[in-house]
Structure formats: structure tokens, C-alpha cells
Amino acid sequence: MTDEFSLHPHDATYLADAYDYINENSFGETYVRQGNILVEELISRINLQNASTVEPLKLLDLGCGTGRISLQFLSSVPEYKAIEITCVDQAIAMQNVFRRKLEQTEFEKQIQFVTSPIADMNVDAGKFDMAWAVFTVLNYITDRDTLKRTISKVYEALKPNSNFIVDIAGFAFFDEKMRTEKTNRIFEFNESFLKRIVMIHNTEDPSIFTYEEYAQSGKMRFKYFHYIKLKYWSIDEFKQIMEECGFSFKCDLNRLNFTGSHFMVFEKISTQSV
């Protein structure tokens, strides 16, 4: 039984080992539907006819976590041998879970790992055909300068006119009442096999929130509490930052509205210098 505390939970082995189990069971069918639709959208935005084992398509999974999207992506593409995905995450523990899952697949040659914050990642410039940073990855960045450095690094990595798919946490995390009336939100999942409580609290800064989570499972033998800060980025401010970094807004992914996050597609402007 693990009972640990961390200010940086995504670096913690206890969370990484339980991460998939917690989300699959507490979100259930919604979690599966979310992944299926996102992968469909990603696949629709690459040209598989241009892929070959000689010159494979190069993709960036930013904040890859335990590999859920990259592995599902490759499983959904018959031409997977003509695709390479560079998976970036600063949490070694999450990537270790990803590596263990990868060993059970035929995709080991298709995946490369970079352990680093996105803003500091060491990847080839101008070589990637598409990138994504989803499931509130960018909400963990709590200041504008770091967000700009992060997005500029992605811009630098992409080929001209390539797509960058992102999401920003919306009403499911930060509703209007929370921001204006300083109320808190509580989510609870309580079954015999898993108990999970998530609390989102205000801070003195109206755009910064504290995310606290407690979870335990007698079946899987884990128990933990952690918290982390999240930043509320308005859609207008986020789009402005993306434009400052050389991206143009392309479209919303409205099929994913049910998740409570705002999913968007941006395109690298080929004439922009960052």
C-alpha cells in the first residue's frame, strides 16, 4: 500500500502506476469516447499517402504521459511502420509506465522518448508533420512567458503549414461562478473498488487554481493525495499567444465539447519568424 504526498504528482511513481486505472474507471465510457474521437481527428489531419518507411511522418506527442494517445494512434493506422512519434514529458515515472506498455506492442521502433519540459525539449527543428498537447497539458503552465516559450518551441519543431492540436480546460474545471464568486468545485467517484475525490480551489490570483486529488483502491493497493496549480487561460488570450508565436487558428474540434475542454487546431504560418 502506497501513501505518499507530492507537489509535483506527475513525477511520482505512485501516481504514474495508478494513472490509467484511475481514469479508466472513474470516467468510464466517456474516457474511451474521448480517446477514440481525438485519435480520429488526429489521423484525419495527416496525409498517410506521403508516409513511407524511407521518409516516415514525424509526429510530436507533448505531455505524452503513459502513452494512451500515441499507442492508440499507432494501433489505428495500418501504415504505422511509416510513422515515428516523439513523445515528450518531464515526468520520468509516467514515461516508465509508457515504456512498459510499449514492450507489449509491435510499436517500439515507432516511438522515441524525450524527458524534458516542452519549452526545453531537444528535437529537430522543422522536421515534424504534426504535434498535439492535449488533456489540459498547457494548463499546468501558469505564466505567460513560459507558455510563449513552450509554444515557440513547438513552432520551431514543426514543418511549415503543419497542425498543432491543443486543448484548454474550460467549464469542467473553471466555471464563471468559481472565477467571480470565489467558489470551489468538488468531484467525487465512490465505488467499492475505487474512491476518488477532486477539489479545485481558488487562490489570491483569480486565474490560478489549486487542484487537489485524493484516491485509494483496496483492489489495486494504492492510496495517495496530491495537489498542483492550474492556470485558467481564456480562449481569447490563448489564441493571441498562439498568434504571437506564429500560429493561425484553424478550427475548433466541437466533437470533443463533451469533455469540458476547448479543443482547437492551429496551423504554423510558414512566413512567420519566432
Q: Give the pLDDT confidence of 18-42 residue by residue, as tens digits.
A: 999 999 999 889 999 999 999 999 9
Does residue 2 form part of some domain? no
Q: Which of 71-80, 149-158, 167-176, 250-259 has the lowest mean pLDDT?
A: 167-176
Model pTM score: 0.92
Rounded Cα distance between 237 and 213, Å, is 28
pLDDT band at 135 (very low <50, low <70, confident <90, very high): very high
pLDDT band at 171 (very low <50, low <70, confident <90, very high): low
Q: What is the mean pLDDT of residues 163-181?
A: 77
> How many other C-beta atoms can be found within 10 angstroms of the C-beta atom of residue 103?
9
Residues 31 and 65 both lie in one domain: yes
Closest Cα partner for 268 from 125, 151, 160, 148?
160
Does residue 27 form part of some domain? yes
Q: Which of 199, 214, 229 is the last residue of a domain?
A: 229
Question: What mean pLDDT, rounded, does the chain reach?
Answer: 89
Reply yes or no on whether the pLDDT at 180 is more than 80. Answer: no
Q: Could you give the percent of the chain with pLDDT greater than 70? A: 91
Q: DSSP code of 143?
A: S
Residues 117 and 248 both lie in one domain: yes
Q: Specify the number of domains making up the chain.
A: 2
Residues 225 and 118 both lie in one domain: no
Does residue 3 form part of some domain? no
pLDDT band at 178 (very low <50, low <70, confident <90, very high): low
Which CATH number goes with the domain that contains 85? Answer: 3.40.50.150
pLDDT band at 52 (very low <50, low <70, confident <90, very high): confident
**Is 91:19 a contact under the CB 8 Å cutoff?**
no
Residues 242 and 220 both lie in one domain: no
Which CATH number goes with the domain that contains 200? Answer: 2.20.25
At residue 253, the pLDDT reads 97
Residues 211 and 256 both lie in one domain: no
Does residue 149 form part of some domain? yes
Residues 160 and 255 both lie in one domain: yes
Residues 145 and 257 both lie in one domain: yes
Does residue 273 form part of some domain? no
At residue 5, the pLDDT reads 38
Residues 114 and 237 both lie in one domain: yes
Residues 143 and 25 both lie in one domain: yes
> How many other C-beta atoms can be found within 10 angstroms of the C-beta atom of residue 39?
20
Q: Could you give the percent of the chain with pLDDT greater than 90? A: 70
Give residue-wise pLDDT tens across range 93-125: 999 999 999 999 999 999 999 999 999 999 999
Does residue 1 form part of some domain? no
CA-to-CA dists, residue 244 to 16, 29, 161, 241, angstroms: 34, 38, 16, 5
Residues 197 and 250 both lie in one domain: no
Residues 42 and 144 both lie in one domain: yes
Considering 50-54, 60-64, 80-84, 168-172, the range whose residues carry the highest mean pLDDT is: 60-64
Does residue 274 form part of some domain? no
Domain residue limits at 182:
176-229
Reply yes or no on whether the pLDDT at 63 is more than 60. Answer: yes
Give residue-wise pLDDT tens across range 218-232: 888 888 888 899 999
Residues 201 and 161 both lie in one domain: no
